Amino acid sequence: MPVGITRFDQRALLALAVGVGIAAGCSSTRQVDDAMLRAADGDSANWLSHGRTYAEQRFSPLRQIDEASVTRLGLAWWLDMGTLHGLEATSLVKDGILYTSSAWSVVYAIDAREGRVLWRFDPQVPKDHGKFACCDVVNRGVALYHGRVYVATIDGRLIAIDQQTGQPVWDVQTTPRGEPYAITGAPRIAAGRVIIGNAGSEYTVRGFVSAYDAETGSLAWRTYMVPGDPSRPFESVAMKRAAATWSGEWWKGGGGGSPWDPIVYDPALDLVFVGTGNASPWYPELRGTTGGDNLYTASIVALRASTGEQVWHYQATPGDSWDYDATQPILLADLTIEGRLRRVLMQANKNAFFYVIDRQDGTLISARPFAAMNWATGIDSAGRPIVSPAARPTKAGTLVVPSDLGAHNWHPISFSPVTGLVYLAATDAPALHTVDTDFKPDPNDQTVGFDARYQGPLVDKLAAARPTGRLLAWDPVAGTVRWKAEHPVARSGGTLATAGNLVFQGRGDGKFVAYRATDGQVLWEFDAGVGIAAAPMTYMVDGKQYVAVLAAPPLLFTDPNVKTGPNTKTGPGRLLVFGLGGTDTLPTAVRHDTPIPPPAVTIVASPKEIIEGGALFSLFCDRCHSPDLNLVKSGAIPDLRRSTAATHAAFEQIVRGGVRRALGMPSFASDLTSDQVRVIEAYVVDRARMAGGVESPAPPRAH
Ligand code: CA
């Protein structure tokens, strides 16, 4: 059964929660505090912070659901999240209440036993700010602390919400108002402060990390990731050092380096580890770089938690040319490597290297490829990548592996201290990079410097590439794959490891799967109907273990390997919660059963122009509208083959004029000419004609 909220339910449940608290002497409803967060590993029933513990290993000691019992796992309940996209959060659970977030930074408190919504908080993000979210208006989760729920919003605010009532307590703007920053990541708690970064390296921003007093919302410290205008005083020695690795007038385009996802706190070292995004724009010559490293972009940076001072950095991709953000999840572990116990952090980077780093001082311990790469041939003795000169993007075009979506991206990874393995999604896929030498930064739009006018032979090679994906069980000590599970789709989601010898992971094709952690055998599978990108989590209430995951059609999972067509499933984003013996079912997936109508307009174009339109479509449109124009978008992102005559009449205004910005459709005025828009439209019309089963224009019929 779907579950909903009524005011009566809300009052009754709050009363129940208060009653339980009194009866149990408040021990079970104690507020999350520093001691509780430090001891989180021993609290197996709850999932108190983003990665479950400060180490963010996403390993649960719960074992009611294990390799034997998992065959009896079933859907316990589910909740319609009221969105068609944008679900990337890891839910938290404290004392039987689940806290999660949805598209547009909306927060929910939900009864974790049966899915009744206790409260919902909508921060009312202005929808036109969505144009500054490169990759959808997602939110990856909340933090719990001292009776509050903390969320950061797409428009750059950090908000403290009362955990009981769902009412805001304070609300601060963390980014310069009106500038193209966004926040999609989850805030973290570090000794009385809420730490938050920001996104925007595909725009003109200067990335930074901020710490706010959890009680009052006042700013405690702010640390920039890239240097600003050198004619003004540098904020720190680290910024002065960084400026020596830049040239030209980089600060005019912001520089990038946005720390948009991992923020991992080590209380014993008083360090916070963040990962930083690409230098902006993507190509060094367009930001005035003449061979410098562009610190501290594409780096893992350690900050003193109490002061924000930079302590060390490791740059994964110096002088980045490929959008290799180092913003993938960071997890902490203590590993015995060559006979020595090392306090390490680990990251499966977009650039296809798996890094093991001494987290005390930033020393690189190992960097091993976990997926296909052609941009580098290895790591030198100084810990720098050995870059293949042929992989440097040029105006003439370069095919580079991994793609700008990464061999791995933001999807959480997990580490089992039992198996000693890290479980992560990996993708082999190329990207076409072409440098727009006429590039000018645009403060109102994405501004990466990619040249869309390129029409060379690499377009066909890119179109012919078949991306592949898999779940890897990675041995971080040996630097090798222990086992892998090949997927029918290139992109899959975050992982959860448990003491029940299980790994849970969802995929872009909607399958939610439990693998045996030791050997990768598939033990259980559920069809969610829509793609899964978020990470699962697990918790226990009233002696019963549950596994929860958010599922929604994810924009960045458009995948040429997913079979599309009349049976493509679509549907609303949902929170799915499983338990042993669960018998709930999802409604039959909504399907695109209705045939594609004949094109509403006729566009005169040559076969060559239609091919050119298809190539442009794959470069500019397919991330949202999909290669087959039909991938599980259920109306949120239109299937362009169904465009009406009115849409076609406004086609150029939509694509170049930005008239649908409020709906999330960016303007491509600086990327595409009117002629290019016309051939894209011709391609769309041609695809509509093909979908109708008409392989060539129908000959006139004799009557
Ligand atoms: Ca980026």
Find the CATH number of the domain harbouring 634: 1.10.760.10
Say yes or no to pLDDT of 566 above 70.
Answer: no
Query: Would 440 be classed as within a structural domain?
Result: no
Reference 540, options 94, 109, 28, 45; nearest CA is 45
Buried b (16+ CB within 10 A) or exposed e, 562-579: bebeeebbbbbbbbbbbb
CA of 649 to the centre of ligand 1 (A): 34
Please give the tally of structural domains in the chain: 1
Let me know if residue 406 belongs to a domain.
no
* Active-site hit among 323, 445, 509, 628: 323
Mean pLDDT for 551-563 is 54
Q: How far is the CA of 366 from the centre of ligand 1 (A)?
A: 24
Tokens of 80: 């319609």
- The single residue listed with the structure tokens 């009866």 is 23
71 CA → ligand 1 middle, Å: 40
Mean pLDDT for 39-53 is 98
Q: Does any domain span residue 553? A: no
- CA–centroid distance, 202 to ligand 1, in Å, is 6
In a domain, 196, yes or no: no
At 2 the pLDDT is: 45
Q: What is the pLDDT of residue 260?
A: 98
For the beta sheet containing 421-428, the strands, ordered from the edge strand earlier in sequence to the opposite edge, are: 414-416, 421-428, 468-475, 480-487
Question: Mapping DSSP to helix (H, G, I), strand (E, B) and coil, where does residue 520 land?
Answer: coil
Assigned domain for 95 exists: no
Rg of the chain in Å (alpha carbons): 25
| Cα–Cα distance, 349 to 26 (Å, whole number) | 43
Whether residue 88 is predicted with pLDDT greater than 80 in this model: the reply is: yes
Q: Which residues pair with 279 in a beta bridge?
A: 256
For the segment 334-347, what is each residue's pLDDT rounded down to a tens digit?
A: 999 999 999 999 99
pLDDT tens for residues 371-401? 999 999 999 999 999 999 999 999 999 999 9
- pLDDT 10s digits, 266-299: 999 999 999 999 999 999 999 998 889 999 999 9
Pairing relationship of beta strands 59-60 and 492-498 according to DSSP bridges: parallel
Sign of CA dihedral 526, 537, 104, 561: negative
Cβ-defined contacts of 361-369 (< 8 Å, 24+): 361/312, 362/300, 362/302, 362/311, 362/312, 362/313, 362/314, 364/314, 365/337, 366/337, 366/476, 366/479, 367/316, 368/479, 368/480
Q: Give Cα separations from 70 to 219, 225, 398, 472, 522 (angstroms).
A: 46, 45, 46, 21, 11
Q: Once rounded to an integer, what is the mean pLDDT over residues 616-644? A: 64
pLDDT digits (tens, 9 = 90+) for 174-229: 999 989 999 999 999 999 999 999 999 999 999 999 999 999 999 999 999 999 99
pLDDT of residue 564 exceeding 60, the answer is no
Q: Return residues with CB closer than 5 A to ligand 1 (ion).
A: 201, 277-278, 323, 325
What pTM was computed for the model?
0.85
Distance 325 CA to ligand 1 centre (A): 5
The H-or-E segment that residue 15 falls in is helix 7-23
Contact 51, 262 (CB under 8 A): no
**Closest to 255 in 3D by CA, of 450, 452, 451, 447:** 447
Cα end-to-end distance, the chain, whole Å: 55
The two tokens of residue 164 are: 């009981």
pLDDT at 556 over 70: no
Q: Judge whether residue 558 has pLDDT over 70.
A: no
What pLDDT score was predicted for residue 560? 44
pLDDT at 559 over 50: no
The predicted structure's pLDDT at residue 593: 52
The verdict on residue 512 lying in a domain is no
Structure tokens at 668: 């491509």
Average pLDDT score over residue span 475-492: 96
Q: How many CB atoms lie under 10 A from the CB of residue 12?
A: 12
Q: Considering the domain boundaries, does residue 687 fall inside one?
A: yes
Q: Note the pLDDT of residue 51.
A: 98
Active site residue 323: yes
| pLDDT tens figures, 57-85 | 999 999 999 999 999 999 999 999 888 77
C-alpha of residue 278 to centroid of ligand 1, in Å: 5
pLDDT (0 to 100) of residue 383 = 97
CB 410 within 8 A of CB 140: yes
What is the 406 CA–ligand 1 centroid distance (Å)? Answer: 10
Q: What is the mean pLDDT of the chain?
A: 89
Structure tokens at 111: 């009864």
* Domain with 630 in it: 607-691
Task: Measure 3 CA to ligand 1 centroid, in angstroms.
Answer: 37
Is 29 within a domain? no
The pLDDT of residue 698 is above 60:
no
CA 461 to ligand 1 centroid distance, Å: 24
